[in-house]
Amino acid sequence: MSQASEIFEGLLANLSVDNADTITARRDEITKTLNREFRNLEGSTANRLMVGSFGRSTAIRGISDLDLLYILPGSIRGTYEQDGGPSKVLSRTRKAIQDRYPSTSVTVDRLVVVVQFASFMFEVQPVFANTDDSFSYPDTYSDSWKITKPRAEIKETSAEDERSRGNLRRLSRLARAWKNKHGVAMGGLLIDTLAYNFLRSNTAYRTARSDQYGEMARDFFWYLSQEDDHEFYAALGSRQRVRVKKKFQRRAKAAYDLAVLAVSADGNANAYKKWRAVFGKAVPVVAAATESVLASASRSFSNTEQFIEDRYPVDIRFSLSIDCSVVQDGFRPQWLRTILDSHGLLRPQKDLRFQIIQTDVPGPYVVKWKVLNRGPEAERRDNIRGQIIDPSVGAERRERTQFRGEHLVECYIIKNGVVVARDSVIVPISAT
């Protein structure tokens, strides 16, 4: 097996959903509860459809947002299509689930009933089946029923995955790993649609082998970086509108640049490190044993770096932007990005106040930070840090520039035990 194959096959294995049994058990129990409520059926798991990433089999480890359709009996359709029907059916659904899980948060949120478990949530949507394979779902804002076509999306995902010998789902999972590593706020259906569009226009990758996945990922990121701005795309299969939450082109270009370096490192002992910069810690350690032994033997510093993935599930669903206010006696505070644009480096002995500039994560939530010192000077001083730490004041993290190096500061927003947004900034400090 080639090094590239070992890296990507290991990565995809590490991205496999590791709590599928728990998810399916909760799914079945919710379905039984609703069958009892709406059909007076005991112990039945019929009349449901998992949709979203889990339903399309493109989900990865850490998934925390599960989408479940419960198909209502057609005999009650007239009752709930009257004025106030959407609110009533969602309220009835909520009460039935709350009775089953009395200590769990169960709430109505416009279109769905949100059931918040320990490390994931279900968005349960009661629907009526239509003759054209679509579903009608309730919208409490407009007090009406609207149309969704998830079966068409599931069907086309499976069809293209078969045509591409499994590469559609693999590429979609790789894209999710990149999204979670770099805090890219992209919905799952948008990712799957863009991966689908890429393979349809780059047919050579439909038959790509695992040793070619590096080139496939690299060219996919280039494809994303060159996309024109869209407010929405036509979803694969259904052609319904899938909204673009935030522009992704700049981050895709950065991923392309990293992937170019990683592809060029193929065969070298540090190739896996290059791919970790793209996809995160799920990339397995693939290096010559002699290199690993020599590296550990010659290391003169303590590797104290911690990884957020080891402490919480990561499922990026919201946007986050951080910046740093640079403070020095006798001078007005300046934003770090402004200083770097004009000077390129920070000087030592400056006070830094890292702050959240923008986020759309609804409160309440928890903020964590990571400050990683990098470079020969940090290693010589045995001071690379890198632990997951709390804010200093409020949500803000305060630091001071001390010594030369290209340091990394990262911020994480954790909601209901899941990292739902992250951002990072590089802090290059000069020698003097």
Q: Which residue has the tokens 């409520």?
A: 37
Dist. CA 265–CA 283, nearest whole Å: 15
Class of domain 301-429: mainly beta
Q: Which residues on adjacent β-strands are paired with residue 146?
A: 137
CA dihedral (186, 187, 189, 193) in degrees, to 10, reads: -10
- pLDDT value of residue 344: 64
Tell me: the pLDDT tens digits for 172-225? 999 999 999 999 999 999 999 999 999 999 999 999 999 999 999 999 999 999
Q: Are strands 232-234 and 135-139 parallel, antiparallel or unpaired?
A: unpaired
The average pLDDT across 50-54 equals 98
The three-point CA angle 395-396-400 to 5° equals: 155
Contact 404, 429 (CB under 8 A): yes
> What CATH number does the domain located at 20-151 have?
3.30.460.90
Minimal CA–CA distance to 175: which of 164, 160, 187, 159? 187
Dist. CA 50–CA 31, nearest whole Å: 11
pLDDT score of 330 more than 90 = no
Confidence of residue 426 (pLDDT cuts 50, 70, 90): confident
Tell me: the pLDDT tens digits for 67-122? 999 999 999 999 999 999 999 999 999 999 999 999 999 999 999 999 999 989 99
Share the mean pLDDT of the chain. 93
pTM, full prediction = 0.93
Token duo for residue 25: 């058990």
DSSP code at position 282: T
Q: In sequence order, what are the residues at sequence separation of 6 or more whose Cβ sits closer than 8 angstroms to the Cβ of residue 395?
A: 355, 356, 367
Contact 401, 356 (CB under 8 A): no
DSSP code at position 387: E
Q: In sequence order, what are the residues at sequence separation of 6 or more whose Cβ sits closer than 8 angstroms to the Cβ of residue 379?
A: 300, 301
- pLDDT value of residue 427: 85
Q: How far apart are the first and last CA of the chain?
A: 48
Q: For the chain, how many residues are written?
A: 432
Domain range list for the chain: 3-15+153-264, 20-151, 301-429
- pLDDT value of residue 293: 41
- pLDDT value of residue 346: 67
